[in-house]
Amino acid sequence: MSNLDQIRLLHYAYMRFARDLDTRFAMLLRTGRLSKWYSQIGSEATTVAAGLSLRRGDVLCSLHRDLGAILATYLDPARTFPDFGFGEPDGLRPEPRELLYRLCCQLLGRGDGFSNGVERSFHYGYLDPSRGIRHIGMISHLGSMIPVAAGAAFALKQAGTDRVALNFIGDGGTSTGDFHEGLNMAAVWKLPLILVIENNRYAFSTPTSAQYAAERLSDRGIGYGMAAITVDGNDPESVGAAMTRAVERARSGSGPTLIEAMLGRMRGHSEGDDSLKVVPEAELETYMNEDPVPGYARQLDTAGVLDSELLARLEARISELVEEAVARAIEAPGPEVETAFRPALAPSGTLQLADELPTADADLLAEAEELEIDLSEEALSDPAPSDDAPSESPVADAAPLETYVEGIHQAMQEELERDDRVVLMGQDIAAFEGAFRITRGLWKRWPERVLDTPIAESGTLGIAAGAALLGYRPVVEMQFGDFISCGFNQMVNVIAKFYYRWQVPCPLVVRLPAGGGVGAGPFHSQNPEAWFAHVAGLKVVCPATAEDAKGLLKAAIRDPNPVVYCEHKFLYRRIKAVLPGPDDVFELGVAAVRREGTDLTMVTYGSGVWTCLEAADALAKEGVEAEVVDLRTLVPLDEETVLSSVRKTGRALVVHEAQETAGFGGEVVARIADQAFAWLDAPVKRVAYPDRPVPFAKHLEQALLPSTDKVLAAARELLDF
């Protein structure tokens, strides 16, 4: 048999394998042994051909219907189909029977599945670089994994390899914003990404005529400036040829490719949901007649590649493997209850996966002017103190004082010097040096690691996530903290959940210039920390001092978890201190007592620290000693420092700039009430921002902000109780 015929036979073997395994699980659904099944019947020619185009170490990003690509990526053909002439074992991938058993356990929710029962069906990830397998699974928000796949491609390119990332999406998922953001960034950065659209002409039940007006979805690739083609998705040879060209293009550094594979809708969105009824009967009959698995078998039979004896042997081998794996998985135990309580945050010191990865803009100037920031070189090199600046941190006489913003700058510079895996991403952070000039000088030193991004918060966060999974440590700057709302899904559904789902760390930092007090209006002044403190899997840091601005950012960059780093714009150039040295890395999750006291505890963070210190100074003149506790890190919360202080003073006042309803201070109040109630001599009070957006006029904003006078009034109420 010629080499070409061996390749054709291999395509059919995996297609038939995927079909038989899919059919077996559909039967399990009908007999009540499986709760949900998304059939991939009809997509085998596309997914198998795409999967077989990858080499060991390439990255596969799959969805519900990509079982064929998973089998083609996981299984060594020589060991899966012995005596069929598929070469020698690669000596790298695990034994096929064990992989199939784990896969079936995954699909049945058993403890031996890839996610140990935490994830359903194909939402799992299997990242084993030592075996040459890097498989990133899906989330239910279709399209969201395209930027993540682009991030994996970015990591492969950044490391200087010729590896590629392959991602799948359905026709419906191409309408999402992440489809645009991911592909646009992949094209701009010439990433080695291949996106295959499995166009079966219906999204759940919505026909393509109601989804897009273009003649072909591949035409969108042309608009992004990338190679694009539409192929017959029922023909593995046509898909394989397109994949070969796309892979060669990606490996040579020529950028991404969009492949639209036209398929027939042969099953509903999920088995038993009755969505197939929307396909007209005559159209459905056409798709059934074009079924790629029997169709390709007939083609190979006619070509003399697959005779009846060979087909019978192949079918027997596949049936043996499928039945053995399914039977073992059915009898396998479910996950231990303790699995539900496994950590959502990686412990400090958790290692990432082993890998070889080791001029002024007018709009920005306008925003800077709106925030009353002086962008002159003189101001940047030696910021002038403000009349309304909070008290400076105590420093040694001869030591130079540096600003909060300089602390952030130094932290990034030192971490870029220390660790080649650190990369900075954000809008206008390269040549322009950022809206607040925090990245000044960094692009000139590290042009390949300080990267301007398009205005695409979701796409940027997804790319950072994919890069982090493969060994990098991205630091993403949101130009203003408010803008992270455009990337909310990536933060809370993709990035935050990786460790709990797969026990794989995703170390990245998202810098949020947040907070008010500078007359910037409702879209540049929000305090979004509580949005993310509610989401398991994220750490949330809110530095108040220049020292912490540096030391906590260095800790965040080195942490194995995703960290939301809320830096307060009002403090940027108003706070000075002696900054920690290059080797001084603070610990996340440790609060600081900024002022000792015995009569009242003020618990706060961020800009509230300086408001409370000023209020405490005023109370001291009245003979009242207030203790000020700076949380520094909201997640993880240093509960013991807070409770110890409250138990000592008997009174607690919680202050935060974020809005009162569902603000993080409410969580602090609840924990004090729960664990320090017996020590309280008065109810716990809060001073927070009223439930309003931030008005533009400064005197209106000041009327709403937690001021020293408001803190004093609340403190006196507590003292008089």
**Which domains, from first to last, does the chain contain?**
3-333 (3.40.50.970), 362-577 (3.40.50.970), 592-720 (3.40.50.920)
Candidates 135, 524, 568, 656; catalytic one: 524
Mean pLDDT by 10 residues, the chain (721 residues): 92 97 94 91 97 96 95 97 92 95 96 95 94 94 95 98 97 94 97 97 91 94 96 98 98 98 92 88 93 97 95 97 97 96 92 49 37 35 40 57 97 98 97 95 98 97 98 96 94 96 97 92 92 97 98 98 97 95 95 98 98 98 97 98 98 97 97 97 96 92 94 97 94
Orientation angle between helical segments 44-52 and 292-302, nearest 10 degrees: 70
Q: What is the distance between the alpha carbons of residues 541 and 449, in angstroms, rounded to a whole number?
A: 24
**Structure-block tokens of residue 577:** 């201190």
- What pLDDT is recorded for position 397? 55
Predicted pLDDT of residue 394: 46
Beta bridge partners, 509, equal 475, 563
Q: What per-residue confidence (pLDDT) applies to 271?
A: 86
At 661, the amino acid letter reads T
pLDDT at 139: 92
Where would I find the beta strands (DSSP E) of 153-221? 165-170, 193-199, 202-203, 206-207
d(CA 721, CA 714): 11
- How much is the pTM? 0.91
Structure confidence at residue 354 (pLDDT): 46
Distances (CA, A) of 410 to 413, 582, 583, 633: 5, 8, 12, 20
Taken as a whole, the chain contains a residue count of 721
Q: d(Cα 79, Cα 47) in Å, to the nearest integer?
A: 21
* 3-state per-residue secondary structure call for 292-342: HHHHHHHHHHHCCCCCHHHHHHHHHHHHHHHHHHHHHHHHCCCCCHHHHHC
The DSSP letter of residue 368 is: H
Q: Of all helices (H) and strands (E), which one includes residue 230?
A: strand 227-232
- Predicted pLDDT of residue 114: 96
193-199: strand order across its sheet: 126-128, 133-136, 59-61, 165-170, 193-199, 257-262, 227-232
pLDDT at 390: 52
- Identify the CA nearest to 516 among candidates 707, 712, 709: 707
- Cα separation, 570 vs 136, in Å, equals 40
Q: Is 534 a catalytic residue?
A: no
268 φ/ψ angles, rounded to the nearest 5 degrees: -75, 180
User: What b/e readout covers 527-543, taking b as 16+ CB neighbours within 10 angstroms?
Assistant: bbbbbbbebebbbbbbb
- The DSSP element (H or E) to which 672 belongs, if any, is helix 664-675
**Cβ(255)–Cβ(227) under 8 Å?**
yes
Residues 6+ apart with CB under 8 A from 273: none
- The answer to whether 720 touches 624, Cβ cutoff 8 Å, is no
How far is it, in rounded angstroms, from Cα 340 to Cα 235? Answer: 43
Rounded distance between C-alpha atoms, residue 115 and residue 342, angstroms: 12
- Closest C-alpha to 254, from 144, 369, 162, 371: 162
What are residue 656's DSSP bridge partners?
A: none
Question: Quick check: 472 and 509 in contact, CB under 8 A?
Answer: no
